[in-house]
Amino acid sequence: METKLIALRLLLEAIGVGTDISSKERRMQVQKAVYLLQAGGVKLGYSYGWYINGPYSTALTRDYYDMQGDLANAPERRLNDEVAAIVNQLRGILAVPDGVPLTPARWAELVASVHYLRHDMRKTTQQAQHLLLQQKPNLAPHIGVAEQKLHEYGLL
């Protein structure tokens, strides 16, 4: 298995998302977890654009499908200490806060989307909320909680 795919597998397991991509919800969690890991400083080299469910990387999609066939043959490795520290610091950002009625995949979509809009597209809170109201009305009411979490984890 290619080194990048081994690193991807290790990161997904360490952040608590795992490598299951059997549903759209699971694939969305993978996309958003990797996006947030990169935002936190893990250098994987995936570029993201805005898509239906927020930040999306076609290269990551190829890689996580390629990774599936090789998981059984992957050599045992572990994350280096610097990357493991970043993962440990960010693990909680993917946990749905109490009182937020979203699935883990939708929470990840919201947090990654808010970060992408605020950081990558340089939108204000009001501009991001307006766009989310138009494109993701079920997520928009929770933008304040998502922004609070992003600040808490040092991503905004």
Q: Encoding tokens for residue 150?
A: 């992003």
Residue whose tokens read 């204000």: 124
Q: Which amino acid is at 92?
A: G
pLDDT tens digits, 137-149 = 999 999 999 999 9
pLDDT tens digits, 3-45 = 788 889 899 999 999 989 999 999 999 999 999 999 999 999 9
Task: Say yes or no to pLDDT of 76 above 90.
Answer: no
Poorest-pLDDT segment among 37-46, 70-79, 85-94: 70-79
CA distance 111 to 113: 5
How much is the average pLDDT of 70-79? 66
The number of folded domains in the chain is 1
Q: What is the pTM of this model?
A: 0.92
Structural domain boundaries enclosing 146:
3-152
Mean of the per-residue pLDDT values of the chain: 91
pLDDT class of 79 with cuts at 50, 70, 90: confident
Burial of 116 (0-12, 13-18, 19+ CB in 10 A): buried
